[in-house]
Amino acid sequence: MSPHSKNIGAVILAAGGSCRFGQPKQLILFHGETLLRRVINAVRDAHCSPIVVVIASDDEKVARELRPTSVAMVENKQWQRGIGSSIRAGVQALTRKPLDIDAIVLLVCDQPAVDAHAIKRLITLRSTTNKDIVASKYADTLGVPALFSSAFFRELGSLEDGAGAKSIIQQNRNRVAEFLFPGGEIDIDTREEWEKLNGGWASPKTMAKAIADQV
């Protein structure tokens, strides 16, 4: 286990209706893996622990996909109120026990460019810059995946329903290190986007090279 990541947990946001896709987006296959399994494996390969996945309370299909992974599963009954409710539920679950966690990586499951290398870069930048937040920069914005030190656990755990992590990042720019993350803007919202990505336009190898070129 990396000395920089031994006290870093992860919260994966996987509660969502996937209305535009027509089925649980978390379970679609991307290069042979479901999007949900892909991000879980990336977090594990980056040596983050413990891992909490937040799902909708009535989403049995996603729950069934998670059970063999042995990650902690949190059911959010209020997920429809906004992403802030899911962040709040995940962070509260992760920090409820005294596990000596000094940072949390916050992720979503529909960014196929996210891999272990990207997560490790967040962790390394936290160590080298000594900043309390490390946010991914892509498409002229700062967002997830992002790392938050324990200084922000209380704020994350009390977010309003409609607020996201980006609001905390924007309000604390002097405490933010930026991780240049080409491909971070790529997400999968429609079948057309999924088919294009699975066709090789943004294969894992291509995206990993793009990230490595920025290091």
Of 2 and 96, the structure prediction assigns the larger pLDDT to: 96
Domain borders along the chain are: 8-212
- CB–CB of 102/81 below 8 Å? no
pTM for this structure?
0.86
DSSP 8-class letter at 79: G
- Per-residue pLDDT, averaged over 18-34, amounts to 76
Q: Return mean pLDDT, the chain.
A: 86
Q: Which CATH architecture has domain 8-212?
A: Alpha-Beta Complex (3.90)
Phi and psi of 45, rounded to 5°? -65, -20
% residues pLDDT > 90 (the chain): 64
Taking alpha carbons only, the member of 87, 23, 93, 90 closest to residue 61 is 23
- Give 47-74 as a DSSP string: T--SEEEEEETT-HHHHHHHGGGT-EEE
pLDDT per position as a tens digit, 166-190: 999 999 999 999 999 999 988 776 6
Q: How far apart are CA 194 and CA 199, in angstroms?
A: 8
Residue-level pLDDT at 208: 45
Q: What is the dihedral of CA 90, 91, 93, 95, to 10 degrees?
A: 160
- CB–CB of 123/158 below 8 Å? no
Of 58 and 87, the structure prediction assigns the larger pLDDT to: 87
Residue-level pLDDT at 130: 96
Residue-level pLDDT at 22: 60
Residue-level pLDDT at 21: 57
pLDDT per position as a tens digit, 118-162: 999 999 999 999 999 999 999 999 999 999 999 999 999 999 998
Residue 22: count other Cβ atoms within 10 Å of its Cβ.
9
Q: Scan for tokens 């209020």, then name that residue.
A: 78
